[in-house]
C-alpha cells in the first residue's frame, strides 16, 4: 500500500525559531499534499493544500507567512513554521494524494511540535 512518511516525528524548539517538517510519499507520486493541524482531543483541521510546482492554497484563518509550504517535487512537501510560539505547539499531520483513479489520500504518521 501507499506509504507517507514525516520527519521529524517529534521536535522541540525555542520561541522565535523556525522549524521545518518534511512529508514524503515513498512509493507513489503525490500530485496533491495536504497539511493538517490537530490540537489535543480535537479533530483534524485542514491548514493548506499544495500541488507540486505551484503555490499552496491556505484555508481561511491560516497565516501563509507563518506556515510556509513548499511542494517542490512529486514526492516531497515541507511545512515551515516560522518564528514559532508556544501556541503553535500541536500535532501536524500531512497526507498525500495521487490524482488519478480513486484520488485516495494517504496519511503520514504525524509530527509533534512543542515550542518552549
Partner 1 sequence: ELKVEQNPLFLSMQEGKNYTIYCNYSTTSDRLYWYRQDPGKSLESLFVLLSNGAVKQEGRLMASLDTKARLSTLHITAAVHDLSATYFCAVHGSGTASKLTFGTGTRLQVTL
Residue in the structure block whose three cell numbers are 512518511: 5
Site for partner 1 contains 41 (CB under 8 A) = yes
Q: Could you say which of 63, 103, 114, 116 contacts partner 1 (CB under 8 A)?
A: 103
Q: Could you say which of 28, 34, 67, 98 contacts partner 1 (CB under 8 A)?
A: 34
Site for partner 1 contains 27 (CB under 8 A) = no
Nearest-approach distance from CB 14 to partner 1, in angstroms? 23
Long-range contacts of 26-30, Cβ-Cβ distance < 8 Å, separation of 24 or more:
26/75, 27/2, 27/3, 28/2, 28/96, 28/98, 28/106, 29/74, 29/75, 29/98, 30/4, 30/74, 30/75, 30/77, 30/96, 30/97, 30/98
Q: Could you say which of 11, 13, 20, 49 contacts partner 1 (CB under 8 A)?
A: 49
d(CA 22, CA 108): 10
Q: Could you say which of 84, 88, 108, 115 contacts partner 1 (CB under 8 A)?
A: 108
List interacting residues with partner 1 (CB under 8 A): 32, 34, 41-46, 49, 93, 99, 102-103, 105, 107-110, 112
Amino acid at each position: 500500500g501507499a506509504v507517507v512518511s514525516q520527519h521529524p516525528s517529534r521536535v522541540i524548539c525555542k520561541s522565535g525559531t523556525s522549524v521545518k517538517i518534511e512529508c514524503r510519499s515513498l512509493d507513489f507520486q503525490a500530485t496533491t499534499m495536504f497539511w493538517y493541524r490537530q490540537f489535543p482531543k480535537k479533530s483534524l483541521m485542514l491548514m493548506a493544500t499544495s500541488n507540486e510546482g505551484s503555490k499552496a492554497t491556505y484555508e481561511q484563518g491560516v497565516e501563509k507567512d507563518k506556515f510556509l509550504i513548499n511542494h517542490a517535487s512529486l514526492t516531497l512537501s515541507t511545512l515551515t513554521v516560522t518564528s514559532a510560539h508556544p501556541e503553535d505547539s500541536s500535532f501536524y499531520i500531512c497526507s498525500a494524494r495521487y490524482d488519478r483513479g480513486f484520488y485516495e489520500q494517504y496519511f503520514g504518521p504525524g509530527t509533534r511540535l512543542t515550542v518552549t
